[in-house]
Structure 1
Amino acid sequence: MLKNLRWTIVFLLFLVYMINYLDRVALSITVPMIEKDLTLNPEQFGIIFGSFFFGYAVFNFIGGLAVDKFGATLVMGLAVGLWSLFCGLTAFATGFYSMLILRVLFGMAEGPICSSANKMINGWFPKKQAATAVGFLSAGSPLGGAVAGPIVGYLAIAFGWRPAFLIIFTIGIIWMIAWFFIAANSPEKHKRVSQQELLLIQQMKKEEEAVEVIAEDNTAKSLGYYLKQPIILVTAFAFFCYNYILFFFLSWFPSYLVQQHHLDIKSMSLTTMIPWIVGFVGLALGGYISDKIFKITGRLLLSRKIVLVVCLLLAALCVGLAGTVSSVASAVLLMSVSIFFLYVTGAIYWAIIQDVVHKSRVGGTSGFIHLIGSISGIVGPIVTGYIVQSTGKFDSAFILAGTVAALGAILVLFVIKAPRATHTAAQA
């Protein structure tokens, strides 16, 4: 595999996105055990889930700036080492406040992940392959969520929830060592890249000059310039809506199955695999579908917009309905369809950045969009916890998640305007 280094790096990023979600979902899977052991209630857990995103959101942006300054290889490696450490320290939590502090630190360490991955793809891939590469590596997230249920569930049942977090810690450290051994910021800076692959990458990037360029020109602008552009602001809001459903699902769907449908931890762990697996397929396909539409239309922005609007609306509809059904099968089916369509859009937000932002500002712009998206991780879990604590039910929380996502799709539809193509994909 090392003979094709750019795809080896994508595979490593795919693995770290798996680890990232395994680590995040571990807390959701073990909630019933931790609630009993530490005497925490749903409202407190809503705050704990949301606290992750206080640190995460801030370091989305700070991490993006660090990536532009120090490079994706260093920032990603350090981030994985630190978040693995804080995840492992969860095993030593003694109550609400220690869990809260560890969750904030854990979120801070995870903050740079998307900016680092985006910067790495920008260094190794041309625009016409960027969405496919981002889609593939991002597909590690739902797959990590899928395996988290049975893995963490088994570890927690067999050894207890505290040893489960210590075992998870070692996985991230192993990945970090492999990353520092294999990765480099660009093919030109990699000591082991073959001359054949280096020339191929350079040739593909030269071909970009014949492809439609959405930005006004290819010169670097200030970060502030990009952050004021309507396309960046709308993409950021759409990513907020995307994350609202995602973090609602990640944080509360396991508890919903236990509380509303009375599943035990073993059954819940296996059941939550289903939406994650279909989400993995959706995320892997999303970037590929967008790149194919681009080849047909020759219009980068239009290809991104079609996928965003259609799939975000379908995800909104299904998650809203999921909370109104009475059976486990119907709820899991609707949630699975929602996560599938949601994840089809997953690579598109980052592909837009690759399309319109100069390479010197990819990290900072990615961090800004990730920051806005992560605010939903603060708002969503806390609001859901309040709703559940107040009403004893989840239906209003599901409907609210669908409404938020629908607003994002509508905004993309009416605000983002695709320019007329000046070149066709065939000319690329």
Structure 2
Amino acid sequence: MLTDKRQRTLLLALLFFTVVINYMDRINISVAASAIRGDLGLSKESMGIIFSAWAWTYTGFQIPGGIVADRFKARVLYPILLVGWSLATIVQGFVSSLGALVGCRVFVGAFEAPSYPINNKVVTQWFPPNQRASAISIYTSGQFIGLAFLAPVLTILLVEFGWRNFMIATGIMGVLWAVVWFVLYPKTKEDNKKTNEDGSQEEVVQRPQAKIDLPLAFSHSKLWGLYIGQFAIGSVFIFFLTWFPTYLTDYRGIEIVKSGFMSAVPYLGAFAGVLLAGFSSDAMSRRGISEEIARKAPVMLGLVFSTAIIGANFTTNNNLAIAFLTISFFGVGLASITWVFVSLIAPDEYVGMIGGVFNFFGGTSAIITPFLIGVLISDDNFAPAFFYIGTVAVLGFLSYLFIVGKVEKIELKTDKPLEA
């Protein structure tokens, strides 16, 4: 039997690598975008549609996905989802039309939808409150450090084997990881335990499960502040997952393999940002610094840094442009501990549901922003896209400053009906 500490270490490792796989299957389409566009004769508007198609179902299924995360155990649910989105990824290697690619991306988004509500539920169940920001930052860092190391590797695989085999290979990796998750995930009665402030676990008396109360997720201003902020952070983030490789190759004239290595620099910046935010936030919380400072300061500072993306519009030097983009993505990393607010503010019975709504608004940015970028840019001008992204980041900062308010758990009414 693993000790609680060893179980948490194992869980963090599983979450970290699952996030790496998750994001590999999100960005493979953007890495292969130029090759796909040339092979299938697609326009930039068509690529914008493909980039955003994943988010249609990813966003639309966030709330149902959060509810599913509340009701099923992560050990079984996650492998099912992994296999689902990995098979959809594999099929992309066999299609030859815009419609078929869009259909595959829709399925990838649908199966990935519950992933972050599950991640947050696992951390909420297994980690004490004063360790959750650190835990979230560690598994979230998988999306950045994974991208940093995968970007060069993926571009080399693309050049060597072609975009079709590239898609098939990345999908197979996900299927294999589903088996690893199921075998290694701790076989404990996770739903019958709670984690205390000191890190110990104890059995809890089981209550009837709360009814689905979707209006609760929209009835508190502080939650709306989180949703607006998540849309802003997502708008900056989704650029790096979709149009970033195209920007480097088509608008900066950087050769594709070299662009893979150059793109790793902003990803590493984001990796540094998310770890700095997570560990500094928990350290401030343990020292008695108010949650408003300990939790909100990294996010708000990150949104300020994110506006640096506009600086790339004012230089013809590729290295300087990468520097601006790195500062911007470092800011996204700082701001990426926002899931800790769901854990700290949402009632425990509704962490998955509210997490789903929260990620729904983040996912909305992934629908709007890639498509809007495709509309805003021209064949030789990417500047309007960066002005848009910077403006949205400012709105996110203002949302955390004026709307989120005090970081405290929402109390449910004692007479709230329960489902037998």
Q: Is TM-score (shorter-chain normalized) higher than 0.5?
A: yes
- The 2-side partners of 1:269 and 1:205 are apart by 41
CA distance in structure 1 between the partners assigned to 2:226 and 2:383 by the alignment = 28
One-letter identity of the residue aligned with 1:311: G
The answer as to 2:378 corresponding to 1:400 is no
- How much does 1:415 deviate? 2.0
**Aligned: 1:380 with 2:369:** yes
Deviation, 1:392, is: 3.2
Please state how far the C-alpha of 1:31 moved relative to its aligned partner.
Answer: 1.1
Aligned to 2:335: 345
Among 204, 215, 218, the residue aligned to 2:198: 204
Q: CA–CA distance in 2 between the matches of 1:31 and 1:226?
A: 37
Candidates 86, 89, 92, aligned match of 2:88: 86
1:361 corresponds to 2:359:
no
Q: How far is the alpha carbon of 1:188 from its aligned partner?
A: 4.0
Q: Distance in 2 between matches of 1:169 and 1:290?
A: 35
Per the alignment, residue 245 of structure 2 pairs with 254
2:295 aligns with: 304
Query: What secondary structure sits across from 1:262 in the alignment?
Result: coil
Contact map agreement 1:42 1:388 (CA 8 A) in 2: no
1:62 and 1:101 map into 2 onto residues whose CA distance is 20
1:181 matches 2:171:
no
Q: Is the 8 A contact 2:30 2:245 kept in 1?
A: yes
Partners of 1:324 and 1:85 lie apart in 2 by 42
- In structure 1, what is the Cα distance between the partners aligned to 2:356 and 2:78? 13
Match of 1:323 in 2: 313
CA distance in structure 1 between the partners assigned to 2:189 and 2:129 by the alignment: 18
Q: How many aligned positions are there?
A: 400
Contact 2:55 2:367 in 1 (8 A): yes
Q: Work out whether residues 377 and 383 of structure 2, in 8 Å CA contact, stay in contact via their aligned partners in 1.
A: no
The answer (yes or no) to whether the contact 1:115–1:366 under 8 Å persists in 2 is yes
- Name the TM-score, length of structure 1 as normaliser: 0.88
**Structure 2 residue ranges without an equivalent (≥5):** 203-208, 409-420
CA distance in 1, matches of 2:262, 2:42: 24
Is the counterpart of residue 418 in structure 1 residue 406 in structure 2?
yes
Aligned counterparts of 2:110 and 2:401: Cα–Cα separation in 1: 33
How far the C-alpha of 1:110 sits from its partner, in A, is: 0.9
Percent identity between the two aligned chains: 27
The change in CA–CA distance for 1:184 and 1:359 in structure 2 (over 3 A counts) is farther
Q: Tell me the equivalent position of 1:231.
A: 222
Q: 1:206 to 1:227 in 2, by over 3 A?
A: farther
Q: CA deviation at 1:419?
A: 6.8
1:423 aligned residue: none
Calculate the aligned-residue CA RMSD, in Å: 2.5
Return the alpha-carbon distance in structure 2 between the equivalents of residues 24 and 418 of structure 1. 34
Contact persistence 1:48–1:99 (CA under 8 A):
yes
Aligned pairs for 1:134-153 (under 5 A) are 134-153=136-155
TM-score (norm 2): 0.90
**What is the match of residue 275 of structure 1?**
266
Call closer, same or farther: CA 1:178–1:332 in 2, change over 3 Å. same
Shift of 1:172: 0.9
Give the C-alpha shift of residue 205 in structure 1: 5.5
Distance 1:339 1:203 in 2: 32
Following the alignment from structure 2 to structure 1, what is the Cα–Cα distance between the partners of residues 234 and 196?
Answer: 35
Q: SS at 2:287's partner residue?
A: helix
- Which of 11, 15, 19 is the matching residue for 1:13? 15
Rounded to whole Å, the distance in 1 between the matches of 2:24 and 2:389 is 23
Seen in structure 2, the aligned counterparts of structure 1 residues 297 and 141 have a Cα distance that, compared at 3 Å, is same
Name which of 82, 96, 99 aligns with 1:97: 99
More displaced 10-residue stretch of structure 1: 5-14 or 285-294: 285-294
> Which position in structure 2 is the counterpart of 1:194?
none
State the partner residue of 2:417: none
CA contact (8 A) 2:18 2:177 kept: yes
Give the CA deviation at 1:381. Answer: 0.5
1:80-118 deviations in Å (ceiling 9; x for gaps):
111111111110120111111111111111111100000
Gaps of 5+ in 1: 192-197, 209-218, 421-428
Q: What SS is found at the alignment partner of 2:254?
A: coil
Distance 1:386 1:203 in 2: 49
Between the aligned partners of 2:296 and 2:94, the Cα distance in structure 1 is: 46
Task: Specify which structure has the higher proportion of helix.
Answer: 1
CA displacement, residues 332-374 of structure 1 (integer Å, 9 cap, x when unaligned): 1110111012111101x21011112222211111110000111
Instruction: Report whether the alignment pairs 1:288 with 2:279.
Output: yes
> 2:359 matched to which residue of 1?
370
Stretch deviating more after TM superposition (166-175 or 126-135): 166-175
> For the Cα contact (< 8 Å) 2:217–2:357, is it kept in 1?
no
Deviation at 1:137, TM superposition (A): 0.4
Counterpart secondary structure, 1:92: coil
- Does the 8 A contact of 2:19 with 2:143 survive in 1? yes
